[in-house]
Amino acid sequence: MVLGLRSAIGSDVGRRRTSNQDSGATTGRLLVVADGMGGHAHGEVASAVTVSALTELDARLPRDLTDVDLAEEMSNALVAATDNLEQQALADPEMRGMGTTVVSLLLTGEHLALAHIGDSRIYRLRSGTLEQLTHDHTMVQQLVDEGQITAEEALVHPRRSVLMRALSTDHEPEPDLDRIPIEPGDRFLLCSDGVTAVLGDDALHAALGSEDDPSAVVSRLIELSNEGGGPDNITAVVADVVEIGDDESQTQHLRVAGAVAEGATSS
């Protein structure tokens, strides 16, 4: 059995922001979403550079990933993105302080390698059950973990957007790395907080289960996030694990969305 990904991607500025600082990309085996931060400090560059570092990694890796240490490769790609941003910030002080979240999955055999920094999220819908696979690197998540506030209080906390970890110019990236076993029928969602700030687990679950076609689900998520106020940039990747023929695995070409699609890899 050969497993592949049938995916769709979409990104939207939302209703309150004037520019889209999110970026995302998909190929036949790579899924990535990044949410750039720092309005004046070119968050769109941070997200575009980080997504590009991962799509370049995908292009460079061999077709057969069996013997490749993907956690190491993804980590290295994030270090390369940080170096690129540091160089740009040295040349242009306005870019100091820019940063981005990143969530990414890379398919190998019957697993997905996962990398995660920040508060973008990855969910898996399997046999009707929705599970969040990433743990937010936020101050409010830490307060929830320590029992100081409840998950409900976190949703409306005034400092809910404060990140404890991000990919930025002032330190080495510290990604959470994992390896997720997959089965045909699994559906994955990668999204920025423009989706999850508006849609709770029940709404996400309903939207993910509402359509067969991943691109219809992406459109639905963007529509619902905007109907809920569209407070932030909205980016979603939906991918189904499917059985494919031996030669089919890399037939899906690169698709990009958001700032990286606008060529925002430098200011």
Binding site for Ca ion (CB under 5 A): 35, 192-193, 232
**Cβ distance to Ca ion smaller for residue 81 or 197:** 197
b or e along 200-212 (b: 16 or more beta carbons within 10 Å of the residue's beta carbon)?
eeebbbebbeeee
Q: How far is the CB of 232 from Ca ion (least distance, A)?
A: 4
Q: How far is the CB of 35 from Ca ion (least distance, A)?
A: 4
Q: How far is the CB of 37 from Ca ion (least distance, A)?
A: 7
Measuring CA to CA, which residue among 166, 165, 176 is closest to residue 75? 176
Distance CA 232, CA 11 (A): 11
Measuring CA to CA, which residue among 250, 177, 254 is closest to residue 3? 250
**Cβ distance to Ca ion smaller for residue 28 or 230:** 230
Q: How far is the CB of 43 from Ca ion (least distance, A)?
A: 9
3-class SS of residue 143: helix
Beta strands, E only, 218-264: 234-244, 255-258
**Cβ distance to Ca ion smaller for residue 136 or 193:** 193
**Cβ distance to Ca ion smaller for residue 12 or 232:** 232
Q: How far is the CB of 65 from Ca ion (least distance, A)?
A: 31
**Cβ distance to Ca ion smaller for residue 58 or 193:** 193
Q: How far is the CB of 132 from Ca ion (least distance, A)?
A: 17
Distance CA 61, CA 146 (A): 40
Side-chain half-sphere exposure of 25, counting CA atoms within 13 A: 27
The span from the first CA to the last CA of the chain, in angstroms, equals: 45
| Cα distances (angstroms) measured from residue 187 to each of 5, 6, 38 | 9, 9, 32
**Cβ distance to Ca ion smaller for residue 88 or 192:** 192
